[in-house]
Structure 1
Amino acid sequence: MQKFFKVYIPIVIALILTGCKEEVKKPADSPIKENEPSSIAVTTASILKEKPKNLAAPEGMVWIPGGELKQGAVPQDKMAMQHEKPAIDVLVDGFFMDITEVTNAQFKKFVAETGYITTAERAIDWEELKKQVPEGTEKPHDSVLQPGALTFKKTKTSVPNLYDFSQWWHWTIGADWRHPNGPDSSIEGKDDYPVVQISFEDALAYCEWAGRRLPTEAEWELAARAGKKGTTFFWGDDISVLQQRANTWEGEFPVTNTKTDGFELRAPVKSYSPNEYGLYDMAGNVWEWTSDWYNNNYYKEVNTTGEVQKNPQGATIPFTPNNPYAKEKVIKGGSFLCSASYCASYRVSARMGSSMDSSLEHTGFRTVATVAMLE
């Protein structure tokens, strides 16, 4: 896997970058039929749709009505990837979801009350790290094995190979949630920005403290669609309004961002209008962790059963074709780095695998709560 990387600490960055790859837009595939109307083999009567009258929405959350969903690529989406196909029939119970991504202020409160230390702030244990790399890999110098995370840096010239993401992702010692762009950066005065440089483990720790959990991929898509069925984006199919609806990359990636949408990097939460359920930033800004294992073949394997999935939890095992060592979780929503020429992951069905210990400046999370968790 190191053949992709020409950086000064190939082992550490290879481990993390294999889990943070955003897929480059590919030519359109042959027409797909998986999102055409189909009969649901089980009744929706067993699904919890409406919020119980005795329960009020927790502060900062909104009720997501339960229902049926075609999870995955829609027929008209020419940018859809193979791992989004064929779409699957799912039934999902209603639940509560954060209206915004977890903010710096919220995460700061969690850390203050618990003393939690994030993955990016911890000393690197080579004995543990070497279990995740090919046998015989030599230990890097101690000056390299220092706490840090991945940060983005624009390139100075056009990039002919958008698959080589080491050209813009750099391992930065001292980068963490308090210093998302490196040791000289700060979140001072940015309480309402989404917290980033958060690993899957960090997100779980916050959830445990808050009495919440991460959404499944099916829950995330149901919430993002907000009742709209069969559309490419959460607002419909009109890409011309993208800059009014989401924080993404405008211009030539990764050289120039014209900031037509108002921001070059992360934006404060609620900078753009919400979807019909009142959820903000369900496209762009920062990627969001889900609880599902990333398995490249998940949609294909589910469709071989012909069964409707009720409250699916995703794949039972992880699988990333180009990295047998990877154990990745699905992230959703895209980020400020998504562009039409690069990954176009502001689409509802877009998904990506990210290593569980990855911390990046474009990845955060939001939480959900079920009726059972609150009763």
Structure 2
Amino acid sequence: MSSRSIFLVFSIVILAVSCKESQKSAPISVIEEKPKPVYTDYHRQYLREISYIETRKDSASTIGMTRISGGKFMMGGDNDQARKDEFPKHEESIKDIWVDDTEVTNAQFREFVEATGYVTTAERSFEIKGKKYEPGALVFDPYNPEWWWKFVKGANWMNPTGPDSDIIGKDDHPVVQVSWYDAMAYAKWAGKRLPTEAEFEYLNRAGNDTLIYNWGNEHEKASEMVNFFQGSFPKQNLNEDNFEKTAPVKSFPANPFGLYETSGNVWEWCLDTYHPDAYSRTGERVDGYFRDFVNMEQQKVIRGGSFLCSESYCTGFRNAARMSSAPDTGLEHTGFRCVKDI
């Protein structure tokens, strides 16, 4: 059984049951060192491949990015919807960084693929218990109450829900069906990196660490502010925000930092390995994030919620909401944005 297949199985299980320290002055390193012995061959092989990607010549450019001043804030759960892994609420310190104004789009990711020849994890075959499987990724199926996510052959960033789908006319939509490794590869090429989990919450809160949502505490305004699931989840989507799935970037108002769709639209990959008790062990982080290699309990953090998050189910678009997924897994509601150290 290959490492990738182990990750895939764990991702499906977790998704089925859940929608559910201070910063150092030096730039954050994104190549993990001394990984744990579990599944290291696959992980190290991918990181090695990423390290060979040449950074684009104009990587110093900050076009399409906003410089965000750092500071201290209180990170963690705000209301009775907060889950156990959002506590204890604690102080974090963030340094100044450049941040992509939007999630990485299909057009931007296509430019990366054409420049490098990179092949995403969803486009690579894999093996489970000696049986080989064709490339594919996970697609949401609302009509199976016991197993909402199904593996679809041929699903990838160009065909988000399978071979009969495409992204024609969606250049300005966020790229999806990209794994953590794919996001890391793009960031390497762009001369950027993924945000840490603490940075992402700081960016989402945008200067106010007491709000439940990045626009305030009133859920009544949500359909005007964020792309999420309205209606009876998972089968009845009222589409009050006018988008059944992904929305073009900049479809909703920017937050006070000038960043778009940090809540809703698609979940976004972060650098950190996920720990359910992360906020009680911040002293173990390196350069402000958990580098630990993934295993069944340690996946990578995703943040911000998506078009599949509902107020009655997971409220992933809350400022403090956390979730995780296996680093080699593609999902139709997960993308990313990048940051750059100053």
Flag the 1:120–1:175 CA change in 2: closer, same or farther, 3 A.
same
Identify which range, 218-227 or 190-199, moves more after superposition: 218-227
What is residue 3 of structure 1 aligned with on the other side? none
What is residue 53 of structure 1 aligned with on the other side? none
Q: Is the 8 A contact 2:156 2:162 kept in 1?
A: yes
Inter-partner Cα distance in structure 1 for 2:8 and 2:340: 34
Q: Do structure 1's residue 184 and structure 2's residue 164 form an aligned pair?
A: yes
Misfit runs of 4+, over 6 Å: none
Residue aligned with 1:18, SS? helix
Q: Is the 8 A contact 1:101 1:364 kept in 2?
A: yes
Q: Do structure 1's residue 288 and structure 2's residue 268 form an aligned pair?
A: yes
How far the C-alpha of 1:81 sits from its partner, in A, is: 0.5
Root-mean-square deviation over aligned CA pairs: 2.7
Matched-pair identity in %:
43
Flag the 1:180–1:348 CA change in 2: closer, same or farther, 3 A.
same
Q: Is the 8 A contact 1:330 1:353 kept in 2?
A: yes
Flag the 1:316–1:210 CA change in 2: closer, same or farther, 3 A.
closer
Inter-partner Cα distance in structure 2 for 1:238 and 1:297: 29
Residue aligned with 1:203, SS? helix
Q: Is the 8 A contact 1:57 1:96 kept in 2?
A: no
Inter-partner Cα distance in structure 1 for 2:195 and 2:61: 16
Residue aligned with 2:169, SS? coil
What is residue 23 of structure 1 aligned with on the other side? 18
Residue aligned with 1:171, SS? strand
What is residue 65 of structure 2 aligned with on the other side? 61
What is residue 363 of structure 1 aligned with on the other side? 334
Indicate which of 177, 180, 200 corresponds to 1:197: 177
Q: Is the 8 A contact 1:274 1:281 kept in 2?
A: yes
How far the C-alpha of 1:154 sits from its partner, in A, is: 2.5
Indicate which of 329, 336, 345 corresponds to 2:300: 329
Residue aligned with 1:194, SS? coil
Q: Is the 8 A contact 1:235 1:275 kept in 2?
A: yes
Amino acid at match of 2:64: G
Flag the 1:228–1:183 CA change in 2: closer, same or farther, 3 A.
same
Inter-partner Cα distance in structure 1 for 2:171 and 2:17: 27
Q: Do structure 1's residue 312 and structure 2's residue 312 form an aligned pair?
A: no
How far the C-alpha of 1:19 sits from its partner, in A, is: 4.9
Inter-partner Cα distance in structure 1 for 2:267 and 2:203: 15
Amino acid at match of 1:70: M
Q: Is the 8 A contact 1:64 1:94 kept in 2?
A: yes
What is residue 130 of structure 2 aligned with on the other side? 139
Flag the 1:81–1:246 CA change in 2: closer, same or farther, 3 A.
same
How far the C-alpha of 1:326 sits from its partner, in A, is: 4.7
What is residue 116 of structure 1 aligned with on the other side? 118
Bigger CA radius of gyration: 1
Inter-partner Cα distance in structure 1 for 2:336 and 2:239: 24
How far the C-alpha of 1:230 sits from its partner, in A, is: 1.0
What is residue 32 of structure 1 aligned with on the other side? none
What is residue 153 of structure 1 aligned with on the other side? 141
Inter-partner Cα distance in structure 2 for 1:356 and 1:65: 29
Q: TM-score, normalised by structure 1?
A: 0.75
Inter-partner Cα distance in structure 2 for 1:12 and 1:222: 29
- In structure 2, the gaps of 5 or more residues are 28-59
Residue aligned with 2:200, SS? helix
Count residues in correspondence: 305
- In structure 1, the gaps of 5 or more residues are 1-9, 26-40, 49-55, 130-137
Q: Is the 8 A contact 1:57 1:63 kept in 2?
A: no
How far the C-alpha of 1:69 sits from its partner, in A, is: 1.1
Inter-partner Cα distance in structure 1 for 2:238 and 2:88: 35
How far the C-alpha of 1:297 sits from its partner, in A, is: 1.2
Q: What CA deviation, in whole Å up to 9, does each residue of 1:20-59 have, x standing for no partner?
A: 457368xxxxxxxxxxxxxxx99x9x999xxxxxxx9710
